[in-house]
């Protein structure tokens, strides 16, 4: 049933956003035992690995509007399902951000001005990178991510290992791009925290829809052109 697929996407995207952004908000700089950039990168990757095994057989485990659009561009997903999938993903991400806010705000001195794991460029980039740098890195990283997803879920790829390849790809993406944009490659993940931060996060949110969607289409189309068999089992962010 389609309803079960949408529910799975909402739950999966909830987990990705809660675990990934939660690691950044709660654990990244925790005194003495903070997990840092490396830990946050692995948290996002592990959220995908765990959910891919849990719901990949139900919804394909996209967890990401850019993945859904990219898979459609690559011939792996029906265009008629794009909008309901994206709605489910955004609902899951917003719910995760809401729960994370409830938890994080219980700490003395909590302030949304710290960013709440939002994505940004310019003054709101962790490394103060420009809009152009943010655009280029988000398009590039999402394109490569889709390329890997398409390849790892190809009919001729080793069976059962797609979630690991996809999750590790997301770890690599975060290791490179956290300093530039705090890493989006996922419009739903970006939307959840931005709605709570408001202001600059909402104003800059457009980039984290436009760039990943462009990158997703590029990655899907390039792999479709490269591969002689576009069919495969879908599992992704």
Write the DSSP string, 135-200.
Answer: HHHHHHHHHHHHHHHHHHTBTTSPTT-HHHHHHHHHHHHHHHHHHHHS--S-HHHHHHHHHHH-TH
User: What is the average pLDDT value for the chain, to the nearest integer?
Assistant: 94
8 within domain boundaries: yes
Q: What is the mean pLDDT of residues 188-214?
A: 98
Asked whether residue 237 is assigned to any structural domain, the reply reads no
Whether 233 maps to a domain, the answer reads no
Going by pLDDT thresholds of 50, 70 and 90, the confidence category of residue 235 is: very low
- Using left for φ > 0, alpha for ψ between -120 and 50, and beta otherwise, residue 182 falls in left
| Mean of pLDDT values over 167-182 | 98
Domain that holds residue 101: 3-226
Cα–Cα dist 18/24, whole Å: 10
Give the pLDDT band (50/70/90) at residue 236: very low
Query: Which CATH number do you get for residue 10?
Result: 1.20.1080.10
- pLDDT value at position 145? 98
Q: Considering the domain boundaries, does residue 154 fall inside one?
A: yes
pLDDT higher at 186 or 159 = 186
Q: Is residue 112 part of a domain?
A: yes
Our count of domains for the chain comes to: 1
Q: Is residue 159 part of a domain?
A: yes
In a domain, residue 236? The reply is: no
Q: Is residue 232 part of a domain?
A: no
What are the pLDDT digits (tens) for 26-52? 998 887 788 999 999 999 999 999 999
């Amino acid at each position: 049933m389609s309803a079960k697929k949408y529910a799975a996407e909402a739950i999966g995207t909830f987990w990705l956003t809660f675990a990934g952004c939660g690691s950044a908000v709660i654990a990244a700089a925790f005194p003495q035992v903070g997990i840092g950039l490396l830990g946050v990168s692995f948290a996002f990757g592990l959220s995908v690995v765990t959910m891919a095994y849990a719901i990949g057989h139900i919804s394909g485990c996209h967890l990401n509007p850019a993945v859904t659009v990219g898979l459609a561009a690559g011939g792996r997903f029906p265009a008629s399902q794009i909008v309901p999938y994206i709605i489910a993903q955004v609902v899951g991400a917003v719910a995760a951000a809401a729960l994370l806010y409830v938890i994080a705000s219980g700490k003395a001195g909590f302030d949304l001005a710290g960013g709440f794991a939002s994505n940004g460029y310019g003054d709101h980039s962790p490394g103060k990178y420009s809009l152009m740098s943010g655009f280029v890195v988000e398009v590039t990283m999402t394109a490569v991510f889709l390329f890997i997803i398409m390849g790892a879920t190809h009919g001729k790829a080793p069976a059962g290992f797609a979630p690991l390849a996809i999750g590790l790809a997301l770890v690599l993406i975060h290791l490179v791009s956290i300093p530039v944009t705090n890493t989006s490659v996922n419009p739903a993940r970006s939307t959840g925290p931005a709605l709570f931060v408001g202001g600059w996060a909402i104003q800059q949110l457009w980039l984290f829809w436009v760039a990943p969607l462009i990158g997703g289409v590029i990655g899907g189309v390039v792999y479709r052109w490269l591969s002689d068999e576009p069919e495969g089992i879908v599992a992704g962010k």
